[in-house]
């Protein structure tokens, strides 16, 4: 077991920044965020996040539980563990789910923050003191980033589902071989 903190272990198993920047889901989220500019520049966009993400989070946790329950000990022993220091297939699938779930949680938190500050602030408010007349641009940048994470979290549902399917096909192949050997 590594002495790295748990987030560092997740990040390594996921593939780090390279995995994010080479992900079709990441770039799809960039494109969709740009296309949905009219949505996230209007007050109230966070309502979509706060109504959709809790259900998606429930799906994610259910999928993660299914993943943990799938297969037998022989199968899990086969895909877990690594001799070369790289993450095992078992940890890669776990990291995919952790990535998916963390994105959902962060998108919910950012939507809550956005909703909390959707009020007319007096010019004496600390945000105005810091940002001045640029506060609108800062808010739009924050909204853009927040909405991007929401869209990215939705798109990573595909990655999580495909990871489950991949593991299911491995298990099926193993069972097919076992059945032939009987």
In a domain, 176, yes or no: yes
Angle, vertex CA 89, rays to CA 20 and CA 99, nearest 5: 35
**Domain around 28:** 6-181
Residue 45 lies in a domain: yes
Question: Does residue 24 lie within any of the structural domains?
Answer: yes
Rounded Cα–Cα distance for residues 81 and 116 (Å): 45
- When divided into structural domains, the chain yields a total of 1
Residue 119: the pLDDT is: 67
| 86: number of Cβ within 10 Å | 10
Q: What is the pLDDT of residue 135?
A: 83
- Measured distance CA(115)–CA(44) in Å, rounded: 7
Is residue 173 a part of any domain in this protein? yes
Q: Quick one: pLDDT at residue 3? A: 60
Residue 1 lies in a domain: no
- Looking at residue 82, its pLDDT comes to 81
Predicted pLDDT at 6: 93
How far apart CA 116 and CA 43 sit, in angstroms, is 11
* Within-domain flag for 51: yes
* pTM of the full structure: 0.86
Those residues of the chain that have pLDDT short of 50 are none
∠ CA 158-162-167, rounded to 5°: 155
């Amino acid at each position: 077991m590594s002495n790295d903190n748990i987030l560092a272990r997740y990040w390594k198993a996921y593939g780090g920044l390279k995995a994010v920047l080479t992900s079709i889901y990441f770039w799809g989220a960039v494109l969709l965020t740009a296309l949905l500019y009219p949505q996230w520049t209007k007050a109230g966009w966070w309502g979509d996040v706060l109504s959709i993400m809790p259900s998606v989070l429930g799906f994610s946790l259910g999928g993660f539980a299914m993943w943990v329950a799938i297969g037998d000990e022989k199968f899990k022993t086969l895909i877990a563990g690594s001799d070369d220091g790289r993450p095992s297939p078992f940890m890669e699938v776990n990291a995919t789910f952790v990535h998916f779930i963390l994105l959902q949680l962060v998108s919910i938190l950012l939507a809550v923050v956005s909703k909390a500050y959707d009020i007319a602030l007096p010019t004496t408010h600390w945000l105005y003191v810091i940002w001045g007349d640029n506060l609108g641009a800062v808010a739009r940048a924050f909204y853009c980033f927040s909405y991007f994470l929401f869209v990215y979290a939705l798109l990573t549902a595909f990655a999580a589902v495909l990871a489950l399917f991949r593991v299911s096909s491995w298990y099926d192949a193993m069972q097919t071989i076992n059945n032939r050997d009987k």
